[in-house]
Amino acid sequence: MSSMRKYESFFSNLKCPYCNSSIKSHLEELDIPHFGETILLHLKCEKENCSFKTNDLFSVFSKEPKRFAFRFSSEADLSTKVIKSSSCTIRIPEFGVEIEPSIASEGYFTNIEGILLRITEVLQFTYMSLEHPEKMFNCKDLIRKVAHAIEGNESFTLILEDPMGNSAIISDDENKISIKTLTKEETEKLKVGGSPIFGLEK
Ligand SMILES: [Zn+2]
């Protein structure tokens, strides 16, 4: 995979949602094998003490809405590459995990280990807001399962669905992956979220 081109300050009119300062943008074009040319977008507030930053990615060419299902069974699967855009829904049915896109969703290029670490972050954040003991117990149990998965000691199915077609799990192993184009009906049921760039233009 090679970085092809970089663009600094491509957008000149973005304002920080926290402090209204200017936002610095950085675009990078990557050629990802089995997926194609992809734009990585990094946005960061220019003000020194402001913590606002976000990322997203898009395929250069328009793609069909797709579902990727990957059968995870060992530690070796942790390095399987994942392209997760801001419009991606992540599911792990065996764990009851479903993360739908929201206005705060980010896009990034990672691997399955990276996805599991992000899910852990979401669960830990959720745990802090829980009050009911049973829900707290279930959430802790889920955090433990995901930790086992990160050690390669759980089998599960990682499902990515993206109505914009900007997400993918990249594997050549036909025994592990199934890829399906979503029907119009299936696509309409999915949330799109909002790319971090929407709402920042002033
Ligand atoms: Zn700011």
- Quick one: pLDDT at residue 20? 92
Do the domain assignments include residue 42? yes
pLDDT at 198: 62
Q: What is the spatial distance between Cα 25 and Cα 34, in angstroms, rounded to a whole number?
A: 27
Asked if pLDDT for residue 10 goes beyond 70, the answer is no
**Whole-number pLDDT of residue 202:** 52
How confident is the model over 63-78, as a mean pLDDT? 95
Cα(53) to centroid of ligand 1, in Å? 8
CATH of the domain at 142: 2.60.120.1040
State the distance from the centre of ligand 1 to the C-alpha of 201, rounded, in angstroms. Answer: 14
Q: Cβ(31)–Cβ(37) under 8 Å?
A: yes
Q: How far apart are CA 63 and CA 125, in angstroms?
A: 33
Q: How far, in Å, is the centroid of ligand 1 from the Cα of 49?
A: 8
Bigger pLDDT: 93 or 202?
A: 93
Question: What are the φ and ψ backbone dihedral angles of 142, each rounded to 5 degrees?
Answer: -65, -40
| Mean pLDDT rounded to a whole number for the chain | 90
For residues 14-33, give the mean pLDDT. Answer: 90
If 0-12 CB within 10 Å is exposed, 13-18 middle and 19+ buried, where does residue 65 land? buried
Binned at pLDDT 50, 70 and 90, residue 196 comes out as low
Question: How far is ligand 1, taken at its centre, from the CA of residue 77, in Å?
Answer: 38
The per-residue pLDDT for 117 is 96
β pairing state of 156-162 and 89-92: antiparallel
Q: Is the pTM of this model over 0.75?
A: yes
Q: Is residue 113 part of a domain?
A: yes
pLDDT at 7: 73
Res 3: pLDDT? 63
**What is the extent of the structural domain holding 31?**
2-189
Pairing of strands 36-45, 23-32: antiparallel
> Residue 126 Cα, ligand 1 centroid: separation in angstroms?
25
Instruction: Single out the residue of 153, 147, 160, 52 nearest to residue 108, CA to CA.
Output: 160
Rounded to whole angstroms, the maximal C-alpha distance in the chain is: 51
**What is the CA(26)–ligand 1 centre distance, in A?**
16
Residue 6's pLDDT is 76
| CA–CA separation, 100 and 73 (whole Å) | 24
Domain total for the chain? 1
Q: Does any domain span residue 66?
A: yes
The residue among 70, 72, 65 whose CA lies nearest residue 88 is 65
> Has residue 150 got a pLDDT over 60?
yes
Residue 47 belongs to a domain? yes
Q: What is the pLDDT of residues 28-60, one digit of tens each?
A: 999 988 889 999 999 999 999 999 999 999 898
Residue 196 lies in a domain: no
Q: Does residue 198 form part of some domain? A: no
The half-sphere exposure of 91 on its side-chain side, counting CA atoms within 13 A, is 12
**Ligand 1 geometric centre to CA of 116 (Å):** 29
**How far apart, in whole angstroms, are the C-alpha atoms of residue 113 and residue 78?**
5
For tokens 């089995």, the residue is: 34
- Whether residue 66 contacts residue 179, with contact meaning beta carbons closer than 8 Å, is answered with yes
Distance 73 CA to ligand 1 centre (A): 42
For residue 195, being part of any structural domain is answered with no
Residue 152 lies in a domain: yes
pLDDT tens-digit profile of 103-141?
Answer: 778 999 999 999 999 999 989 999 999 999 999 999 999
Kindly give the distance from the C-alpha atom of residue 15 to the centroid of ligand 1, in angstroms, as a whole number.
Answer: 8
